[in-house]
Amino acid sequence: MDSLPTIRASYRRLSPLYDVLEGAIFHSGRKDAVALANKRANQRILDVGVGTGLALPLYRKDAWVVGIDASPEMLKRAKARVERKRLENVGGLIEMDAMRMAFADRSFDAVVAMHVASVVPDPMKLIAEMKRVCVPGGDILVVNHFASSGGVMRLIEKSARPFAEVIGFRPDVRLMHLADGARLQIVQVRRVNLGGYWRLIHFRNTAPADAAHRNA
């Protein structure tokens, strides 16, 4: 995807249809990711690129959950969901660029980003920011489509790359680039969603924050 204004424009158009198009088909991956974020009691959890808030009802009630998103229209729908479902554990839904978060270092115990890494202009900055705002030892959970390592799928993904704008996500984000670049420990990688074509990555925030990635 391209710049933030382009992303905002895409999600302004997509927001009324988002739950129908991307709700049920990605639900199992969201459930699996949030289940890992929910492991410990009384946590501060950040949902990055919260969208229309489809995952918000899944967080445990003793958590304090904050969602951020670049799109006001997506956030409006998330806010309506919070009110409709009386989600008292949701402490804030804030318009914010995930690549330049306004939070202090170590503000959250767990940080989750579902279907966001292939949408932001720079996935490395996204991961670096997730790491910065997460406490050492905290959980970082990413659900995304990642580039296949070879075969026909790799060819399809490569040829789809120029059309990222049209298909709404970049099909060639490389998992190991993210993990290595951010110097995060991978706890587990699990295939999720339709046909296992998406992956849930559970990182542990082990390494100290990397100054080079801070709001670079």
Ligand X SMILES: C[S@@+](CC[C@H](N)C(=O)[O-])C[C@H]1O[C@@H](n2cnc3c(N)ncnc32)[C@H](O)[C@@H]1O
- What's the alpha-carbon Rg for the chain, to the nearest Å? 16
CA-angle at 144, arms to 142 and 150, nearest 5°: 125
Nearer to ligand X, 14 or 189 (CB): 14
Nearer to ligand X, 70 or 209 (CB): 70
Interface residue with ligand X among 34, 63, 114, 209 (CB under 6 A) is 114
Per CB under 6 A, the segment of 64-72, 147-155, 181-189, 196-204 that binds ligand X is 64-72
Nearer to ligand X, 63 or 119 (CB): 119
Per CB under 6 A, the segment of 67-75, 131-139, 174-182, 188-196 that binds ligand X is 67-75
Minimum distance from residue 151 beta carbon to ligand X (Å): 25
Q: Does 120 bind ligand X (CB under 6 A)?
A: yes
Nearer to ligand X, 51 or 138 (CB): 51
Residue with tokens 């995807």: 1
Residues 184-213 that bind ligand X (CB under 6 A): none
Q: Does 111 bind ligand X (CB under 6 A)?
A: no
Per CB under 6 A, the segment of 85-93, 94-102, 129-137, 157-165 that binds ligand X is 94-102
Minimum distance from residue 197 beta carbon to ligand X (Å): 15
User: Which residues are at the interface with ligand X (CB under 6 A)?
Assistant: 4, 7, 11, 22, 26, 30, 49-51, 54, 68-71, 74, 97-99, 114-116, 119-120
